Amino acid sequence: MYGLRYRITGSRVVLYWPGSQAQIRLHGFNPGWWERAATRRRREYAGSTFDTPHWTEHESRAHQLTQEAGWEPAGLLSPLLRRIRATAGDGPCNGTSVWFNEVALRLETTYGPACAQLTALLCKGPTTLGWTVQRQTCFCLSEHAEGCSINFTAPGEPPIHYTNLRWGARFTGKNHQRRLSELNARALLI
């Protein structure tokens, strides 16, 4: 998400947009891990903007182009980011990616929750996003490893295409767990 910045406040990582009052406070893990990952990102990607106080020229241009396209993602992405934990499943391989492909917002999880649980969080009840399910292919109750997909619609927003890759159903062996530990250790080395 262009323009996103962070700062460490006590035992939390705070994500924010420069010039905005909105923020997301992440807690429940060691902020030192975040710093290690950010340091590595700065080293590997010259010009990393995680901690610059203002938007860069490229970020300002991306914002301008988004507005010119007639679709401002903040109205959709901000509420979605506040619910991002809703996309985490029970398994050890959780990850969520969100991007816009000029046609639809893509929301992809490596091992998300059951479809019924996700749709309940996003579509039903007083604190939802007001999304509705347009089309759904669900393999949650199947023993096969196929992923699930849901096409959502949102009032006044582009379509939202969700895919749950169900990696947790595929990678549960000891070799995979050992490999994940190795990759995590390498990722956090400074």
- Say what the pLDDT of residue 39 is: 79
- Say what the pLDDT of residue 19 is: 76
- Say what the pLDDT of residue 152 is: 93
- Say what the pLDDT of residue 187 is: 65
Residue type present at position 97 = S
For the chain, list residues with pLDDT below 50: 190
- Say what the pLDDT of residue 86 is: 72
pTM over 0.85: no
